[in-house]
Chain A
């Protein structure tokens, strides 16, 4: 299946993926309206150190520890995409405890949030991929 792959060789550390992610999941149709004067809380995060940078977001594991560990059944995997039902999630953070890549984080609404490959928002395909200026993030079959 198509996954998000990251190649740190091409990551510029520009952080645009974070902004495009935050915008895509804001539910707003204008980036300025969505992101002006806020501290963004994106589902993809850049790690940076000594001139190396890369984006990290959910790997959509085939054997997802987060889904198996979820105490509410809010995290499910369907067609390879792991998504969260924030209605069911109580914010216990067992998934944060479980995810080996640190790709699940608290959401501003109390539950948790994670990359859902933009399947639930208006994007249709991952906004971080579209927004990456250097193809450091790709959404491909590999």
Chain B
């Protein structure tokens, strides 16, 4: 049907004066965009197949390639935008739910960018992190309400299990299956090197990675894939995933085509069967059910591991968090609406949930108002893009952050948002061996380590500027933030003053 014809959104531009027909573009494109014509000794491309992953652009040794947004356009309409129109065409043609991946790309406000950080001048010296210790070590877990002394006056260690982080940055849940073995290895090795944690997501834990158990958080989600005794025992913490920012209220679906070999083994489901995670946990229909699962998991692991409950940032997140904090969880992870995913219905991704900044501010304040902030640590994720975002998150009250998309970017992701196709040219969101091979964990892990080290440096610089030399003195220190371009309501939710005040 001619209606179904959609002009490619992006065009591959090849500078034939530069092209040396080395064919690396052709060899590296899993979408088969490029091909070589022997007769003409020239490369050609079919941009209708292009997902704009930039693999070819990045590898072209003579910079002969670029990808540009097409100037083919519908008649201008501020309401019926090109996207809006083509989505109607696509759905009219297929009758299907639109799928996409990674995080919400719509131009909603980014509150991180509407907050500014303080620095010391005169009355309080800034601290130079190159000359003075600058501490980022963070413990996650419940804090005791009362210090207990033994008969000799020594302090009794009445702490429940904690996670000990060298930096308050963890890698968020991404399952083996949604991302590749090599991506997992990169994350695991980086977490170990960095003294932090990565998260299995709901995909089980490959036996090869048991050796990184001390730096692993194992997830228990609604499909319970790969969950069994050894799995629970491997990790340093257990995370119950209730929801994720990219698709709150929605389950997961890894197509049977991806359930092959080790993935099937690790998930403990037959090869070729679809891995369907239900929308809710079918044993959690209420907060008290959650409490039971929290304690079941603690019981199963002899109360040796903190339990994290991960929820998506939704409208009444503060009340939910309060319930979780009273439900025995040691750590609450909140995922904002910009959080990434391997696949989600586009409408859900783009329209459900709330910004993490507001969710964090209201959760932190609510827990303090109730006097239970010490019951839990708060970890936030859902588009933490740089070190300043982290400083702001901690100043708003977070104990640590989860990074997912940033970690994937470090591994080479170019945000083409086509994970759901399974043809990730960067070897991340794919299980095809020839593509998986493209992510060498020796490189991947080093890049993750670099990224976190760089951010750590920057965090320390910003802390030093504020005259703070330990991360706990920044936590919840909202006086260090000022809003810019925010209205009274936003300022009050964030609990910060406006710049100039």
Contact = CB atoms under 8 A, between A and B. Distances in A.
The answer to whether A and B belong to the same complex is yes
Interface of A: 9-16, 19-20, 23, 31-32, 35-37, 51, 131, 133-136
B383 to A, nearest CB: 28
A32 B438 CA distance: 26
A10 B186 CA distance: 14
Interface of B: 17-18, 20, 22-24, 27-28, 41, 58-59, 61-62, 433-434, 437-438, 440, 442-443
B20 A32 contact: yes
B62 A31 contact: yes
Residue among B59, B437, B442 with the highest chain A CB neighbour number at 10 A: B437
Contact of B27 (A10, A13, A35, A134): A13
A16 B20 CA distance: 12
A36 B58 CA distance: 19
A15 B442 contact: no
A10 B433 CA distance: 11
A15 B23 contact: yes
Contact of A133 (B22, B41, B59): B59
B61 A131 contact: yes
A36 to B, nearest CB: 5
A37 B41 contact: yes
Nearest to A20: B61
A32 B18 contact: yes
B443 A135 contact: yes
A129 to B, nearest CB: 13
A77 B41 CA distance: 40
5 contacts: A12-B437, A15-B27, A32-B20, A36-B20, A37-B41
B22 A15 contact: yes
A37 B438 CA distance: 28
Contacts of A133: 58-59
Residue among A9, A20, A32, A131 with the highest chain B CB neighbour number at 10 A: A32
| A-B pairs with lowest CB-CB distance, top 10 | A35-B20, A10-B440, A134-B440, A19-B22, A14-B24, A31-B62, A32-B62, A135-B440, A32-B18, A36-B20
Contact of B434 (A15, A16, A32, A51): A51
The interface residues of chain B, by DSSP majority, are classed as loop
Nearest to B26: A14
Given A16-B24, A23-B61, A134-B437, 13 more contacts: A10-B442, A12-B434, A14-B59, A15-B23, A19-B20, A20-B61, A31-B62, A35-B62, A36-B20, A131-B61, A133-B59, A134-B438, A134-B443
A35 B433 CA distance: 31
A14 B442 CA distance: 19
B28 A9 contact: no
A35 B437 CA distance: 28
A34 B398 CA distance: 55
Contact of A16 (B41, B59, B443): B59
A31 B332 CA distance: 54
Contacts of B62: 31-32, 35
Contact of B22 (A35, A51, A134): A35
B20 A15 contact: no
A31 B23 contact: no
A12 B427 CA distance: 11
A133 B23 CA distance: 15
A131 B443 CA distance: 14
A69 B447 CA distance: 45
Contact of A136 (B23, B433, B434, B440): B440
Nearest to A13: B27
A105 B442 CA distance: 32
A32 B17 contact: yes
Contacts of A135: 440, 442-443
Contacts of B58: 133
A15 B24 contact: yes
A37 B41 CA distance: 8
Contacts of B17: 32
A10 B437 contact: yes
Contacts of A16: 22, 24, 59, 61
Nearest to A23: B61
Nearest to A8: B437
A20 B62 CA distance: 10
A35 B274 CA distance: 48
B18 to A, nearest CB: 5
Contacts of A31: 20, 61-62
A9 B427 CA distance: 13
Given A12-B28, A37-B41, A19 B443 contact: no
A13 B58 CA distance: 16
A12 B27 CA distance: 9
A9 B437 contact: yes
Nearest to B433: A51
